[in-house]
Amino acid sequence: MLCGLRVLFTLALLFTTQGSWAAVILQYHHVSETTPKVTSVTPAQFKQQMQYLADNNFHVVPLAEVVQAIKRGQELPAKTVVITFDDGYRSIFETARPILKSLGFPYTLFVSVTPTAKGYREMMSWQQLRQLADEGVTIANHSYGHEHLIRKLPGETEAQWLARIKQNLQDTEAELMAKTGQDVKMLAYPYGEYNTALQQLLSALGYVGLGQQSGAAGTYSSLTALPRFPVAGAYANMASLQVKLQARNMPVLSSTPTNPELSDGNWRPTLQLTLEMQDINPEQLLCYLPGQDAVKPAWTSKNSFQIQATKPLPVGRSRYNCTVPSKHGSGYYWFSQAWVRPDDQGQWLHE
């Protein structure tokens, strides 16, 4: 009897620990009623969302706290949430800031130098960013000019491209240090675009990288491709957010291919994942691919499966998303594989 109770206690501790690793990182852009809906939440929606976090005892923590926990293998409290904003729009300063300040919530802004310096599209000023930094807000790297970082210039070699991107990131970091006093070495990839070579560069430079693929961050996440849940447009409603806030870190032991950048006509990539199955029922795992209904993957072993799109992925950015409910707790394990592809002639989508 005592042995059985010990086993139950051990399992309960295991599942509690797994759940505690699921830090949900939210990604916002505009908080406004007049900006494009696809990248916006209204002030009323944002206030409702932040109040929900406060009323339901979510632990809203700085991004750096989650990064350090993953690096050190330390546990995080259950219901851990991080709030991030990309681009540094003025609506964040004027509308989101008072709401976050009233609730005492920390947050991170990812900003680019050129759009900020030139005041593009309702951007905050350096003075406003410095004020936020002085208030304890984290100001982090979003590239110098909000470039598509994975795209090479005409005739540019791999080595030349890497040298250019390295200089871009270092120049941005130096400017952020000069203007805000912060040098945190965290990069949100513009457009959520990255590839293996860029991840390796970040690792060599000591940077953390954040994408725009969905999922909860935790012990199974790559520190050069941390997932975030975009909150905007069709995904700005409370019902959608409540589901995401219960997301768990999918226990991925291995994944192939690892490079999101597609080439050579490989427009229907086969993704293979190997999972830790302790809390997963394979019959309940479903994947969502572009232009397809939810599909069951093909299991190749007790803990590995494959999934492939039935038609070529669209030019530009897309995702394979896979989810499965926890067997022993609430919420869903969530994994998203980002893809980015040029057209059939190798040309990138004009944006």
Other C-beta atoms closer than 10 Å to the C-beta of 85 total 25
Q: How confident is the model at residue 74 (pLDDT cuts 50, 70, 90)?
A: confident
CA distances for 233 relative to 13, 37, 109, 315, angstroms: 38, 5, 20, 22
Distance CA 86, CA 109 (A): 6
Average pLDDT over the chain, rounded to whole? 93
pLDDT digits (tens, 9 = 90+) for 285-343: 999 999 998 999 999 999 999 999 999 999 999 999 999 999 988 899 999 999 999 99
The mean per-residue pLDDT over the stretch 31-59 comes to: 97
**Cα–Cα nearest to 219, from 121, 106, 80:** 80
CA distances for 241 relative to 107, 246, 283, 320, angstroms: 18, 9, 25, 20
CB within 8 Å of 86: residues ≥ 6 apart: 27, 28, 29, 110, 142, 188
Q: How confident is the model at residue 15 (pLDDT cuts 50, 70, 90)?
A: very low
pLDDT surpasses 60 at 2: no
User: Which domains are seen in the chain, by residue range?
Assistant: 20-249 (3.20.20.370), 254-341 (2.60.40.10)
Q: How many CA atoms lie within 13 A of 73 on its CB side?
A: 0
Residue type, 109: L
pLDDT digits (tens, 9 = 90+) for 227-267: 999 999 999 999 999 999 999 999 999 999 999 999 999 99
CB within 8 Å of 58: residues ≥ 6 apart: 79, 80, 81, 245
Q: How confident is the model at residue 21 (pLDDT cuts 50, 70, 90)?
A: low
CB within 8 Å of 289: residues ≥ 6 apart: 295, 307, 309, 310, 320, 321
- Supply the pLDDT for residue 335: 97
- Supply the pLDDT for residue 10: 37
The mean per-residue pLDDT over the stretch 78-98 comes to: 97
pLDDT surpasses 90 at 11: no
The mean per-residue pLDDT over the stretch 69-84 comes to: 91
Helix (H) or strand (E) holding 253: strand 252-256
Helix (H) or strand (E) holding 84: strand 80-86
pLDDT digits (tens, 9 = 90+) for 90-143: 999 999 999 999 999 999 999 999 999 998 989 999 999 999 999 999 999 999
Give the helix, strand, coil percentages of the chain, each rounded to 5.
35, 25, 40
Other C-beta atoms closer than 10 Å to the C-beta of 242 total 12
Q: How confident is the model at residue 75 (pLDDT cuts 50, 70, 90)?
A: confident
pLDDT surpasses 90 at 189: yes
pLDDT surpasses 80 at 20: no
**Cα–Cα nearest to 216, from 224, 225, 228:** 228
Q: How confident is the model at residue 76 (pLDDT cuts 50, 70, 90)?
A: confident
Residue type, 1: M
